């Protein structure tokens, strides 16, 4: 294999999640000289899902090759999905450097060629596709005690918490799911949630999925799980937490572990420093791009996946399949 550091690549793809892997598959099919740079592991975001979790999408929405994802049940687990993505990269012989983070992208005004600096090397490429996802910064509550070692912003598995007093904070499906897993496996669990989130039934508003809510309500009815309608988490100390409830009373609960699961934000530093423009989209900021080509205001710099308006895996896969052939076409028309 030639050394990507000495050659000029056609396409540099940053991120090996579903979007980056889909882009790499499409680039290989188009015969492009491409490389994927991934700061973590293959499909790192999926790797970080809770152990044993069943995803909410169907195989046809998740798979990178038609009919190749065949889970034991109707929807795959984290492990089945991860294995599918890893197998795709291996079977297709995709050119991916893992555990190498992209640090800066610069476009040479005269030649239009990009220089990408990473934690290990420097590369040159005619086009760059950024597919770095939206999970870089787990959101924080900024409360006293949030930096204690017992506080986590990601849930992996329930087994270290059996018979322990655990508080889960959050109003979306991830928090509800973590509370369910913990309660089912014998942790003394309290879910601290805003009433409006608990009562939210609109799936577009990140409501708790019905297949999580039903067993969660069973845990509540049978007295294993507690719900705290709170307005504010006041303080976390070594053995306790203090919550302000909606009637204005501050309750102190015994506590061994806290999970703050209130979402995450993308890291846009790479794109901003490269000169990409952003626009507000609800609470988040999204890069401005052409909706047909996903090219940004920086010519030759493309975006795809979770931090665009195409948020789920289905679109993270579909968009690169559509735009990489257009990128290949642009070489044929400019040569
Ligand atoms: C717990 C959980 C469950 C979910 N369940 C579902 C589901 O059931 N169905 C569904 O459709 N969606 C689900 N999602 C959302 C789904 O994971 C995302 O839509 C999907 O991962 C987006 O793919 P992506 O390739 O855009 O981004 P990601 O999968 O996040 O991939 C981005 C990659 O870029 C890498 N990266 C970031 N910065 C750099 C850098 N500077 N240099 C190099 N590499 C970098 C990251 O390490 C990562 O591997 C879930 C999310 C979570 C957190």
Give the CATH number, domain containing residue 105.
Answer: 3.50.50.60
Domain assignment present for residue 79? The answer is: yes
Last residue of a domain, one of 260, 279, 303: 260
What pLDDT is attached to residue 174?
A: 94
Name the packing angle between helices 210-221 and 173-184 (round to 10°). Answer: 40
Summary mean pLDDT of the chain? 94
- Specify whether 72 is located in the same domain as 165: no
Domain assignment present for residue 106? The answer is: yes
How many folded domains does the chain comprise?
2
Domain assignment present for residue 162? The answer is: yes
What pLDDT is attached to residue 149?
A: 98
- Specify whether 229 is located in the same domain as 309: no
In contact, 60 and 82? CB cutoff 8 Å: no
Last residue of a domain, one of 214, 233, 260: 260
Q: 164 CA to middle of ligand 1, Å?
A: 31
- Specify whether 146 is located in the same domain as 33: no
Q: Which of the listed residues 23, 45, 209 should we mutate to test ligand 1's pocket, taking the one with most ligand atoms within 8 A of CB?
A: 45
Last residue of a domain, one of 230, 260, 290: 260
Confidence of residue 1 (pLDDT cuts 50, 70, 90): very low
In contact, 260 and 146? CB cutoff 8 Å: yes
Domain that holds residue 282: 8-136+266-334
What pLDDT is attached to residue 282?
A: 83
Does ligand 1 come within 6 angstroms of the Cβ of 45?
A: yes
Task: Centre a 10 Å sphere on the Cβ of residue 332 and count the other Cβ atoms it contains.
Answer: 8
- Specify whether 216 is located in the same domain as 274: no
What pLDDT is attached to residue 283?
A: 78
Does ligand 1 come within 6 angstroms of the Cβ of 49?
A: yes
- The dihedrals phi and psi of 224, each to the nearest 5 degrees, come to -85, -30
Joined tokens for residue 199: 């009562």
- Specify whether 160 is located in the same domain as 119: no
- Specify whether 283 is located in the same domain as 201: no
Q: What is the mean pLDDT of the segment spanning 244-266?
A: 95
pLDDT in tens, 158-167: 999 999 999 9
- Specify whether 17 is located in the same domain as 130: yes
């Amino acid at each position: 294999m030639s050394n990507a550091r000495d050659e000029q690549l056609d396409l540099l793809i940053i991120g090996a999640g579903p979007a980056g892997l889909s882009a790499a598959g499409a680039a290989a099919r188009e015969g492009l000289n491409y490389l994927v740079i991934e700061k973590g592991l293959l499909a790192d975001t999926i790797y970080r899902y809770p152990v044993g979790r069943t995803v909410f999408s169907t195989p046809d929405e998740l798979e990178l090759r038609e009919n190749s994802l065949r889970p034991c049940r109707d929807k795959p687990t984290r492990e089945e999905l991860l294995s599918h993505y890893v197998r795709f990269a291996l079977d297709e012989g995709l050119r991916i450097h893992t555990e190498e983070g992209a640090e800066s992208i610069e476009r040479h005004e005269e030649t239009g060629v990009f220089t990408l600096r990473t934690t290990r090397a420097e590369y040159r490429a005619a086009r760059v596709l950024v597919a770095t996802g939206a999970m870089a910064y787990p959101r924080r509550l900024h409360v006293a005690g949030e930096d204690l070692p017992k506080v986590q912003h990601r849930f992996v598995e329930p087994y270290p918490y059996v018979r322990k007093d655990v508080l889960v904070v959050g109003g979306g499906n991830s928090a509800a799911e973590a509370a369910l897993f913990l309660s089912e496996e014998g942790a003394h669990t309290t879910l601290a949630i805003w009433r409006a989130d608990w009562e939210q039934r609109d799936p577009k508003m990140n409501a708790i999925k019905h297949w999580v809510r039903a067993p969660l309500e069973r845990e509540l009815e049978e007295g294993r799980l507690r719900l705290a309608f709170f307005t504010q988490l006041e303080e976390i100390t070594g053995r306790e937490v203090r919550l302000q409830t909606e009637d204005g009373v501050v309750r102190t609960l015994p506590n061994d572990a806290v999970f703050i699961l209130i979402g995450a934000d993308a890291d846009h530093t790479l794109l901003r420093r490269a000169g990409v423009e952003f626009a507000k989209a609800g609470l988040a900021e999204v890069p401005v791009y052409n909706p047909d080509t996903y090219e940004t205001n920086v010519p030759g710099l493309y975006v795809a996946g979770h931090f665009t308006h195409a948020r789920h895996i289905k679109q993270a896969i579909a968009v690169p399949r559509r735009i990489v052939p257009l990128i290949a076409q642009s070489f044929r028309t400019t040569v």
